[in-house]
Structure 1
Amino acid sequence: MSVNGKAEVKRLFIGAGCNRIVNNVSWGACGLVSFGAQHAVAIFSPKSAQILTTLPGHKATVNCTHWLPSTKFAFKAKHLQQHYLLSGDADGVIILWELSLADNKWRHVLQLPRSHKKGITCINGFMVSPSDAIFATSSSDGTVCIWDAVFPFSSSGGDCKLSCLETLIVGSRPMVTLSLAQLPGNTGHIVLAMGGLDNKIYLYCGERTGKFVHACELKGHTDWIRSLDFSLPVSSGEADSVLLVSSSQDKGIRIWKLTLRGSLANTEGTYRRSEISLASYIEGPVFVAGSFSYQISLESLLIGHEDWVYSVQWQPPSMAAEEGFGFYQPQSVLSASMDKTMMIWQPERKTGIWMNVVTVGELSHCALGFYGGHWSSDADSILAHGYGGSFHMWRNVGCSTDNWQPQKVPSGHFAAVADIAWARHGEYMLSVSHDQTTRIFAPWHNQEPHSDGGFWNEIARPQVHGHDINCAAIIQGKGNHCFVSGAEEKVARVFEAPLSFLKTLHHAISEQSSFPEDLQADVQVLGANMSALGLSQKPIYVNATHEISDNVGNDGLDTLESVPDAVPVVLTEPPIEDQLAWHTLWPESHKLYGHGNELFSVCCDHEGKLVASSCPVSNSSGNMVMASRFMESCW
């Protein structure tokens, strides 16, 4: 209670998972990451690994977000005080948000005029000037809209002016990826690349006022186009070309080169190429934009992924080399695939042949592939989001050579949270969800000593199930942490905390380094293994394994010869996704039978010794009534 007698409420933690949609995540030039979390837009800081806020406003699932400016234009946005974010949902609604860096406050600017009748599939654009932007939106209704936005110069006031420049009808096969760029040569023309549910890349050219016309088609991929990204102008004496990278469900990545041939008024205009490489001999079509013509050639074909390549992105330019136009476009591409890996591709200095130079990823069986990959503005961090709504981030901590190490990221449920329960002494919070997981969140006091109570993190995922979990209750066990959960099945399951979790919790909430020896002697279960069907979790006993270390961080995992799958460890810092998904399971100690239908509610008495569970049943009149069972929980 405050001095004046009024209650004060302070937000300490937000947990949320990412919607598993390809274009859902965007990394802004302001250093923040946006993503859709069900019907809300969530914002998290990679530096603190915490979700800062959520932006409510959408009434349907958020499909995609895009920052203006994004990390690609961070070198131009160092002095901007207002950054803008676009978000589109499954109903075709697009909302524009404003972030003021001066006070870190968000503002709902406007909702775009309803131009799409179905869900938004992609948003892409760039800042033409600090107060002017152009962006394109695509939808599953078969249309692509091109927009112009004029922003106020300061946060003191003013309205954003937004207009639709063009609406392109692309037919019955909708576009799922877009990329916008300015054509090289300072011609004032803009090129729009789009791809979707066929094997072609479509190029449209237009001006700042609109008038976009079909220029040409690029053929080569043999399956759906999943991602497109233009580089900034590549300088070879002058900025006469841009590169377009494309990825497809054919597992391949292609790099295309758009080169300015010259003005049509100049009859002697030739195709200027300062250096001819083996990769530049395959020439594509020539298209005209205004009074200029451009040659397209296939620069390289990148083969290395073993599954669909959902995302490709050029490394953001930097101001490190003051060449030509004041920035340097690195020849480096990041790709993310459903084969559970991200790769960085670069050309060799001598031959110019593009090679895979870095591979990172969750190679274990607990990952189900990546939906997108993103660079930080300084290119020393890369971020992926996966099928399970999780984030994965790596940071290059090497000096002379690359050394990419996994980093902490926020986490949470990616489906509806059905129930939450506090530990009996308030050390942590347990939540269950229809994403078929049970998660434990707790403040990690040793992580940030200067912060109020420490940052909250997910410290364990005790149950990974094969059914949607509806309910949970913390109960009293043998002097240990226990809970009972009910799911879309007829069985209530009881779980007991293993020794690895108890020691991890001790590190998180206590400044003392020693662990109580009496509790260590009583608890003989070290961790748990998941069964093949994903229902029961079998215990791993201490006397059946090697002695575990009390100082295992995220850099390494202990190996246990007798347990080839799970590796329960004691964590001295918040775990990363791979550890959470497989190495922090709790063993299942009991199954409680008796119900005839799925469970949807459980609770316990204040002493934690009695559990009540309920399920729906049908009586003779067809109405739903409740059936409850009471069980002693002192097993």
Structure 2
Amino acid sequence: MLQIRTEYLAAGANRHPSTADWDESGILAFGADRNVALWQPQNEESRGVFEILSGHEDIVNAVKFIPGSSNTLLTGSVDKNLIIWKKNTKSGYWENSQTLNHQDSNYHQSSINCLAVAAGANIFASGAADGTVKIWSLDENNVASLRQSITVSPRFFPLALALSLLAGTTDSYVLAVAGTKDIIQLYVLDSEIGPEFNFKATLAGHEGWIRSLEFTRESNSPDSDLLLSSASQDKYIRLWRIHQGKELPAAAASADPSLGAFLPGKSLSNKAHRFKAQGLDFSATFEALLLGHEDWIYSTRWRSGNDKLQLLSASADNSLAIWEADSTTGVWVTITRLGEISAEKGSTTATGSTGGFWAGLWSPSGETVVSLGRTGSWRLWNFNVEQDRWLQGIGTSGHTQSVTGIAWSKEGDYLLSTSSDQTTRLHAIWKRGENKSWHEIARPQIHGYDLNCIDCLGTSQFVSGADEKLLRVFSEPKAVANLLSKLCGIGGSHIEQKPDAANMPVLGLSNKAIEAVDDDVEITNGNSNGRDAFDPASIVHKSTLDLSQPPSEEHLSRHTLWPEIEKLYGHGYEISALATSHDGSLIATACKASSIDHAVVRLFETKDWLEIKPPLTAHSLTVTRLRFSADDKYILSVGRDRKWAVFERDAEQKAIYKLKESDPKGHTRMILDAAWAPTPFPLFATAGRDKKVNIWAKEEGAADFTCKAKISETHPVTAVDFLDKMVRDGVAYLAVGLETGFLAVHSLNVKNGFVMQMLAVRLPSIHPNPSKAITQLAWKPVKGQTDGEVDMELAIASEDSSLRVYSYKPESSVS
């Protein structure tokens, strides 16, 4: 049996204003593709995601904790389903307690966009693109049943909901609904009349879609007025007051008409909307207009448990704003602005933009705020009382699309990953005393094409291939080398000879090396006619590159790029596979192909970056994987044409390879992956869509490779990889990943008739496997360890946008 432990989980958050919620227990849950990721932002160990929940079949849009119940979580998805998650008090892991499936025709029949809960309530609301709002009842065990369905289409589709108990009542609630129109609808549940919500008022004033609604009480008094915040794509926030009593609140009765001057040609309406509940009179009136953002506003959140009312807003203008009413005038003003406060907008440069903030959240204590950006990363700020200011802390990040390729550095010090989100990311362990935690330390490549494959080249270079016809080679800059040395204890060679950093020119795809300047150097932007004007992105101060903790999202995207040192041409279509030799002298590449002419393997030598001709021919369709054997004597290629081919190196000319052997019927369907084993004789595994893993070996004295063993799986096998050292005498470990996300480790005994055995694994959690296909597996290189004492770490890339690193340890009972 193998003991397994989760070392690292990375997943980027979905771009949706309702995709995250922060519970009073300190857990922040957010949608990550079709999964739900759990993170503790205020964890002193600065660990990122600690658990990933799988259950949905499509993108998770809405996430809400049940207030006062720190062990119940609601999630809604594009798959039209609602899931109620509960924390298992014994195991500590979260489990799917109930799925409200769209197959019931009374439930949602389209993508679920928003959820609303209220403290102490036994009901919650959900809104979907089917134009309905569903009201659900919860019993004492938090099991949900449908209570009411409200149709708001064809008027609009709900994008935001807010639910609250009405002041002075025991079980009467007000529900605010808004979405793809510029109005807010109020529905009221009067417990004396019946158990259903009834339409009471329409609040008008916004001029664009409304993306966020939230209620709060004006004070801690149970009879205090309710305030409703609404955030809109018209760049404004409006506050509305729900007051209990026949008299109108003072602000509405004496509204200053001159306030209309803020909006050209518009006046602010102070019309009172009256309704009753439990025999009490209520009025809903406009309270205030908050101006300050320069782009769409995606979310607003009230700070709880504070003497002063504060509102946090997140906007597409790349900023978070904290609003507070002035103590003398009562006018709402911005007291703090966080984020990227500059004239640089999202379309200016690829590295200078964040694309805006999609969500902002308060911590339960109100001492920390986080924001979600376009890149799926979370930024974090903590309030420092001594300095009386907000200081940026350590957030978490991850890919937002399928992770297509992973590669460990040659020494196994760090892990590189590429993705369809058009980024390459470097992950490593931040070491500080006894504490160790994984983080994204650098973002070497931000591209304009989806990235498909990657491999390391030497100790400080890598090559990547994308949906373009060329490959790009990158070299580590001094800034990243110093960061890895300082934070991770990874010693870089010849640091002083490297360029300081890199940047990407406007409208460019190639990272250019730049030099850092001292802090006291005065920078002038050319002469008066602008001829010598410079690109601000090309200037960076040395102090900016000197960090004492893992970089923030802004720093990652601006200052950790690697300069591009070479482009490799020759292919006619998108790059599909690449591999580098273990000695770093060769790069083998292939591209997507539907004919023999393009289904070739091209070799490039890394001394002068020239192609070695002629290319290697064996396949007729796309080559899906290339692998060099441990001694670089062989190159293995597999493809969609169901064929594998082995090329052997010339005994005298080390850069020349020739076809040694191939099998046109290696599998009955396309072959998706392959890997060499660390055996004394050539042995490799191939994985196919025919649900088979075949083991091929050429034993001593044999002329050809023959199939020695087969593993039959339940679904297509999409990834395989051998640990690069034998675990015991004659035993190799093979990791196998399936299209369903299932992961298994097999032992192969080459001394005992090539017997294959799936190893039992003690799982780290209820959901240890990805929820979509595993795209690539990579064992960490084993350094200087004797047989039988191997520390094994496996990196797992998946289509569900998650990147995982698991450590395996054989138990003594393993025979």
Give the distance between the partners of 1:520 and 1:421, measured in 2 at CA: 22
Does the Cα contact within 8 Å between 1:279 and 1:298 map onto a contact in 2?
no
Give the deviation of 1:9 after TM superposition: 1.9
Give the distance between the partners of 2:536 and 2:59, measured in 1 at CA: 39
Give the deviation of 1:282 after TM superposition: 2.5
Aligned AA for 1:315? R
Give the distance between the partners of 2:547 and 2:225, measured in 1 at CA: 50
SS at match of 1:438: strand
Give the distance between the partners of 1:311 and 1:166, measured in 2 at CA: 27
Tell me which of 565, 586, 591 is aligned to 2:562: 586
Does the Cα contact within 8 Å between 1:215 and 1:288 map onto a contact in 2?
no
SS at match of 1:367: coil
Show the counterpart of 2:573: 597
Does the Cα contact within 8 Å between 2:65 and 2:72 map onto a contact in 1?
yes
Show the counterpart of 1:37: 32
SS at match of 1:295: strand
Aligned AA for 1:519? H
Give the distance between the partners of 2:401 and 2:53, measured in 1 at CA: 17
Show the counterpart of 2:324: 346
Give the distance between the partners of 1:339 and 1:62, measured in 2 at CA: 24
| Residues 632 and 560 (structure 1), Cα distance of their counterparts in 2 relative to 1, 3 Å cut | farther
Taking structure 1 as the reference length, the TM-score comes to 0.84
Does the Cα contact within 8 Å between 1:337 and 1:371 map onto a contact in 2?
yes
Give the deviation of 1:271 after TM superposition: 4.5
Give the distance between the partners of 1:332 and 1:23, measured in 2 at CA: 20
Q: Deviations 1:518-546 (Å, cap 9, x if unpaired)?
A: 7134x2311111022241011114xxx43
Give the deviation of 1:226 after TM superposition: 1.2
Give the distance between the partners of 1:216 and 1:21, measured in 2 at CA: 27
Give the distance between the partners of 1:165 and 1:464, measured in 2 at CA: 48
Show the counterpart of 1:632: 605
Give the deviation of 1:186 after TM superposition: 2.1
Does the Cα contact within 8 Å between 2:118 and 2:165 map onto a contact in 1?
no
Q: Deviations 1:299-343 (Å, cap 9, x if unpaired)?
A: 11111111111111111125xxxxxxxxx6x32111111011111
Give the distance between the partners of 1:150 and 1:535, measured in 2 at CA: 56
Give the distance between the partners of 2:579 and 2:518, measured in 1 at CA: 37
Tell me which of 26, 30, 54 is aligned to 2:21: 26
Give the distance between the partners of 1:278 and 1:62, measured in 2 at CA: 42
Does the Cα contact within 8 Å between 2:15 and 2:373 map onto a contact in 1?
yes
Q: Deviations 1:277-306 (Å, cap 9, x if unpaired)?
A: 656992422122342221122111111111
Tell me which of 520, 536, 540 is aligned to 2:510: 536
Give the distance between the partners of 2:152 and 2:252, measured in 1 at CA: 37
Give the distance between the partners of 2:256 and 2:287, measured in 1 at CA: 5
Give the distance between the partners of 2:277 and 2:256, measured in 1 at CA: 25
Show the counterpart of 1:117: 109
Show the counterpart of 2:473: 494
Say whether residues 1:217 and 2:183 are aligned partners: no
Give the distance between the partners of 1:271 and 1:589, measured in 2 at CA: 70
Aligned AA for 2:56? H
Give the distance between the partners of 2:290 and 2:89, measured in 1 at CA: 40
Give the deviation of 1:43 after TM superposition: 0.5
Aligned AA for 1:256? W
Tell me which of 336, 339, 345 is aligned to 2:314: 336
Give the distance between the partners of 2:135 and 2:127, measured in 1 at CA: 9
Q: Deviations 1:118-155 (Å, cap 9, x if unpaired)?
A: 10000110242xxx632100000000001111243xxx
Say whether residues 1:368 and 2:355 are aligned partners: yes
Give the distance between the partners of 2:223 and 2:429, measured in 1 at CA: 51
Give the deviation of 1:412 after TM superposition: 0.9
SS at match of 1:195: strand
Give the distance between the partners of 1:271 and 1:496, measured in 2 at CA: 68
| Residues 194 and 8 (structure 1), Cα distance of their counterparts in 2 relative to 1, 3 Å cut | same
Give the distance between the partners of 1:276 and 1:315, measured in 2 at CA: 27
Show the counterpart of 2:457: 475
Give the distance between the partners of 1:309 and 1:475, measured in 2 at CA: 44
| Residues 508 and 211 (structure 1), Cα distance of their counterparts in 2 relative to 1, 3 Å cut | same
Give the distance between the partners of 1:274 and 1:590, measured in 2 at CA: 66
| Residues 614 and 151 (structure 1), Cα distance of their counterparts in 2 relative to 1, 3 Å cut | farther
Tell me which of 401, 418, 436 is aligned to 1:432: 418
Q: Deviations 1:564-601 (Å, cap 9, x if unpaired)?
A: 31537143311110000010010000000000001021
SS at match of 1:231: strand
Does the Cα contact within 8 Å between 2:227 and 2:241 map onto a contact in 1?
yes
Give the deviation of 1:210 after TM superposition: 2.7
Give the distance between the partners of 1:23 and 1:397, measured in 2 at CA: 28
Give the deviation of 1:240 after TM superposition: 4.2
| Residues 469 and 560 (structure 1), Cα distance of their counterparts in 2 relative to 1, 3 Å cut | farther
Show the counterpart of 1:3: none
Show the counterpart of 1:460: 442
Aligned AA for 1:170? V
Show the counterpart of 1:230: 215
| Residues 489 and 601 (structure 1), Cα distance of their counterparts in 2 relative to 1, 3 Å cut | same
SS at match of 1:12: strand
| Residues 559 and 196 (structure 1), Cα distance of their counterparts in 2 relative to 1, 3 Å cut | farther
| Count of aligned residue pairs for this structure pair | 565
Give the distance between the partners of 1:617 and 1:50, measured in 2 at CA: 40
Show the counterpart of 2:48: 50
Say whether residues 1:565 and 2:537 are aligned partners: yes
Give the distance between the partners of 2:101 and 2:478, measured in 1 at CA: 57
Show the counterpart of 1:520: 495
SS at match of 1:565: helix
- Uncovered stretches (5+) of structure 2, i.e. residues with no partner: 258-268, 345-351, 525-533, 609-815
SS at match of 2:217: coil
Alignment of 1:246-261 (within 5 A): 246-261=230-245
Does the Cα contact within 8 Å between 1:548 and 1:569 map onto a contact in 2?
no
| Residues 272 and 484 (structure 1), Cα distance of their counterparts in 2 relative to 1, 3 Å cut | closer
Give the distance between the partners of 2:54 and 2:606, measured in 1 at CA: 41
Show the counterpart of 2:713: none
- Uncovered stretches (5+) of structure 1, i.e. residues with no partner: 1-5, 70-76, 153-159, 263-269, 319-327, 550-557
Give the deviation of 1:548 after TM superposition: 8.5
Aligned AA for 1:188? D
SS at match of 2:3: coil
Show the counterpart of 1:419: 405
| Residues 151 and 100 (structure 1), Cα distance of their counterparts in 2 relative to 1, 3 Å cut | farther
Does the Cα contact within 8 Å between 1:257 and 1:298 map onto a contact in 2?
yes
What is the CA RMSD across the aligned residues, in angstroms? 2.5
Give the deviation of 1:507 after TM superposition: 1.1
Aligned AA for 1:398? V
SS at match of 1:300: strand
| Residues 55 and 289 (structure 1), Cα distance of their counterparts in 2 relative to 1, 3 Å cut | same
Show the counterpart of 2:586: 610
SS at match of 2:118: strand
Aligned AA for 1:185? G
Taking structure 2 as the reference length, the TM-score comes to 0.66
Q: Deviations 1:330-369 (Å, cap 9, x if unpaired)?
A: 3211111101111111111111111111111123532110
SS at match of 1:333: strand
Show the counterpart of 1:306: 294
Give the distance between the partners of 1:274 and 1:547, measured in 2 at CA: 54
- Identity of counterpart residues, as a percentage? 34
Aligned AA for 1:442? A
Give the distance between the partners of 1:475 and 1:311, measured in 2 at CA: 44
Say whether residues 1:66 and 2:68 are aligned partners: no
Alignment of 1:136-147 (within 5 A): 136-147=125-136
Q: Deviations 1:146-181 (Å, cap 9, x if unpaired)?
A: 1111243xxxxxxx4322111001112211000000
Show the counterpart of 2:810: none
Using CA pairs below 8 Å that are at least 6 residues apart, which structure has the higher relative contact order? 2
Give the distance between the partners of 2:407 and 2:522, measured in 1 at CA: 33
Which structure would you say has the larger Rg?
2
Show the counterpart of 1:506: 485
Aligned AA for 1:632? E
Does the Cα contact within 8 Å between 1:121 and 1:138 map onto a contact in 2?
yes
Show the counterpart of 1:265: none
Q: Deviations 1:408-454 (Å, cap 9, x if unpaired)?
A: 111110111000000000110000001100000000112xx223xx1
